[in-house]
Amino acid sequence: CRFVVLISGRGSNMQTIVNTVQAGHLPATVSAVMANKADAAGLEWAQAHGIPTAVVPHRDYDSREAFDAALAEAIEAYQPHYVLLAGFMRVLTPAFVERFNGRLINIHPSLLPAFPGLHTHQQALAMGVQWHGCTIHFVTPVLDHGPIVAQGMVPVRADDTPDDLAQRVLQVEHRMYADVVGWLAQGRVSLDAMQRVQVSGVA
């Protein structure tokens, strides 16, 4: 199973994905790590770990459509089975999403459908929720929407700052993405007739 991972910054989720795949127990390869910014810190880490990298700078393109077309070309060169968004901070056009329909996965730092968009930890604290977490889902043209593959939950504590909460959620993000990459590599994830995710072999 070939994966391409898209990042915009630090890339700690990408590192988890690469580490999971390089641990060697999975029939999988991370074919490339790509970013929309040349200064995404994760790119250097990926190179140091022997993963090909590419940058498709969104600022070089006049429109989202043109950027997405260039990004899609760069991805297709690797013929991945799955494209994993891991802290990729660009909204993708419907044309891009359709092109990778059923093969595009995102991680979002909230328990969707609560708190789509940005600043999810602030939103969670402002709302006073007692549980927060992350969601890994298939991407559809609607932002932070789409069939849910896995969710991880953390408690919210009374004195949490957004950073505290982000740290706690990030740990669960890493665990969940490692699990999901394993399921995908083993061909255990499918969509049923209702577009709900089925994972075989998980109770």
**Contacts to ligand GRF by CB under 6 A:** 7, 9-13, 86-87, 107-109, 170, 173
Q: At how many degrees (to 10) do helices 41-48 and 12-22 cross?
A: 20
DSSP string for residues in 32-68: EEEESSTT-HHHHHHHHTT--EEE--GGG-SSHHHHH
The one catalytic residue in 25, 81, 108, 137 is: 108
The residue among 7 and 189 lying less far from ligand GRF, judged by its C-beta, is 7
What distance in Å separates the CA atoms of residue 70 and residue 183, rounded to the nearest whole number? 29
CA–CA separation, 152 and 109 (whole Å)? 10
CB of 71 to ligand GRF, least distance (A): 17
- Minimum CB–partner distance for residue 109 and ligand GRF (Å): 4
Which is nearer to ligand GRF, 40 or 72 (by Cβ)?
40
Distance CA 159, CA 161 (A): 7
Residue whose C-beta lies closest to ligand GRF: 87
Is 101 annotated as a binding-site member?
no
81 is catalytic: no
Smallest separation, CB 41 to ligand GRF (Å): 8
How far apart, in whole angstroms, are the C-alpha atoms of residue 90 and residue 34?
A: 13
19 annotated ligand binder: no
Query: Per the annotation, does 190 bind a ligand?
Result: no
Nearest-approach distance from CB 154 to ligand GRF, in angstroms: 12
User: Please, which residue, 69 or 116, has the CB nearer to ligand GRF?
Assistant: 116
Cβ(89)–Cβ(120) below 8 Å: no
What type of residue is 4? V
Q: Is 13 one of the annotated binding-site residues?
A: yes
DSSP code at position 196? -
Q: Hey, which residues are catalytic here?
A: 108
Annotated binding-site positions: 11-13, 64, 106
Residue ranges for the binding site for (6R)-10-formyltetrahydrofolate? 64, 106
